[in-house]
Amino acid sequence: MKHIFVINPAAGKENYRHVIETALTRAKNLDYLLYETTGRGDATAYIRSWCTEHPEEQARFYACGGDGTLNEVVNGVVGFENASVGCYPCGSGNDFVKYYGGKRVFFDLDALLNSKEEYIDLIRVGDRYAINATHFGFDSCVAETMMNVRRKKIIGGKNAYTTGVVVGLLKAMKNKCKVTADGKLLNPKGTILLCTIANGQFVGGSFRCAPRSLDNDGFMEVCVVNPVSHITFMRLIKAYTNGTHLDDPRFEKYLTYCRAKKVEIEAPDDFIYSLDGELINEGKFTVEIVHNAIRFAVPRGANPLPGVLHIANLEK
C-alpha cells in the first residue's frame, strides 16, 4: 500500500509538513509521498486524479489538517475501491476524530500507519459528501460570523467564536425551515433554533450534538431544537455541550430527536447550512446516508467514546 499524506499548509497554527516528513523518515520500508495542497478543492481534485491514473494500486490518503481538509480527502476517495482515508488532525478544528477519543492517538504515527481499516458511512447532499455532520440554524449563523470576522481586530482571532455567539443570540434564535425525516415532518410550526444531522458526535469544536451516533450503522442522528428564549438558551447550553441533552427532561418540550436515512429541508432561498464546516447557501436540499461508503483508518488504541457500542467492521 502507498501512504499519501495530503497536507494543508494553511490549516492550524503552523505548516506540519516538516513534522510529518521527519517522522516518516524513521519508518522502514514505507512506500509514501507527501502532497501539499495549493487551495480550496485541490485535495479532492488531486486524489481523484491519482486514483484514476493508478486504478490497480492501493493507497491510503491521510488528511493532514482540520475538518475541511478531511472533508476534501473524503470527497476525493469516495467511489474508488483502491483508496481509503486516514487522518493526521493538525488543524484548528478536528471534530470527527473525537468520535474515536480525540487527536492524541491519531498523532501516533506508528499506530496510524498500522491502522485497522473499517467501513464507515457518509452523509450525502447532492454531489457533496460529509463524514461528520451537516447542521444549520443558530450554528450556521455562528459559523458564518466567525468566517467574516476571523481576521478583524478585537472581534476576530481568538474572539471570533464569542462574536459569532453574540450575533447568533441577536439574529438566529428563530430560523424558518421545515425538517422532514423519512417522510415525517419534525417541526410543524416551520421554525427551529437549530438542527444537526450527524454521522459523528461533535460539531463546533465542543458541542456533543449526537452522543448516540454510530458512524457505521446506516443511519443519521437528527436533532431539532425548537426556538427558545435567551434565558432558556443559557440554562440549557451546558447540557447540549456535554451531550446529555437527549436524556435531560428539561429538553422534552424543545427537542425532537430521531434516526433517519433521508432528511429533506425546505427553507428560504438565502438559507445557509454547514457541511463539515463548509458553508453552503441553498434553500431546498436533501440529506441522505450512504452506508459503508469508504474505508477509514482507525489507529491502534483508538476507541469510540464511552457509551457508544460500535458495530463490528463488516465486509461490503
Answer for the pair 85, 115: CB distance below 8 angstroms, yes or no.
no
Q: Provide the pLDDT for residue 16.
A: 80
Q: How far apart are the C-alpha atoms of 192 and 168, rounded to whole Å? A: 13
Confidence bin at 93 (pLDDT 50/70/90): confident
The residue count for the chain: 316
Asked if 123 contacts 134 with a C-beta cutoff of 8 angstroms, the reply is yes
Residue 316 has pLDDT above 60, yes or no: no
The residue that leads in pLDDT, 92 or 260, is 260
Q: How many helices (H) and strands (E) does the chain have?
A: 8, 18
Beta-bridged to residue 258, according to DSSP, are 222
Does the pLDDT value for residue 58 go beyond 80?
A: yes
What pLDDT does residue 160 have?
80
More confident site: 10 or 209: 209
Weakest-pLDDT range from 50-54, 159-163, 206-210:
159-163
**Mean pLDDT of the 197-226 span:** 93
Distance CA 4, CA 47 (A): 9
With a pLDDT cut of 90, the percent of the chain lying above it is: 74
Output the CA–CA distances (angstroms, integers) from residue 256 to 42, 181, 224, 245, 286, in the order listed.
38, 11, 5, 11, 19
pLDDT at 181 over 70: yes
Instruction: List, for residues 282-291, the tens digit of each pLDDT value.
Output: 999 999 999 9
Spatial distance between the Cα atoms of 48 and 205, rounded to a whole number of angstroms: 29
Do the Cβ atoms of 140 and 272 come closer than 8 Å?
A: yes
3-state secondary structure string across 142-170: HHHHHHHHCCCCCCCHHHHHHHHHHHHHH
How confident is the model over 133-179, as pLDDT tens digits? 999 999 899 888 987 887 788 888 778 878 888 999 999 999 999 99
Task: Please report the domains of the chain, with CATH numbers, ordered by start residue.
Answer: 2-121+293-298 (3.40.50.10330), 133-290 (2.60.200.40)
d(CA 10, CA 16): 10
Distant-in-sequence, close-in-space partners of 23: CB < 8 Å, separation ≥ 6:
109
Q: Provide the pLDDT confidence category of residue 306 given band limits of 50, 70 and 90.
A: low
Q: Which three cell numbers stand for residue 14?
A: 503552523
Q: What is the mean pLDDT of the chain?
A: 91
Residue 100 has pLDDT above 80, yes or no: yes
Percent of the chain with pLDDT over 70: 95
Q: Which of 6-10, 56-60, 289-293 has the lowest mean pLDDT?
A: 6-10
Average pLDDT over residues 223-229: 97
Write out the three cell numbers for 235. 440554562
What is the 3-state secondary structure of 176-238? ECEEEECCEECCCCCEECEEEEECCCCECCCECCCCCCCCCCCCEEEEEECCCCHHHHHHHHH
Residue 307 has pLDDT above 50, yes or no: no
d(CA 36, CA 9): 7
Residue 295, phi then psi, degrees to nearest 5: -100, 130
| pLDDT given for residue 301 in this prediction | 85
Band of the pLDDT at 91, cuts 50, 70, 90?
confident
CA-based angle 68:10:95, to the nearest 5?
Answer: 30
Name residue 87's beta-bridge partners.
Answer: 63
Across the range 259-266, mean pLDDT stands at: 98
Provide the β-strand partners of residue 266: 178, 284
**Tell me, what's the pLDDT at 161?**
76
| Mean pLDDT within 66-87 | 96
13 has a pLDDT exceeding 80? no
Mean pLDDT of 248-277: 95
N-to-C CA span, the chain: 20
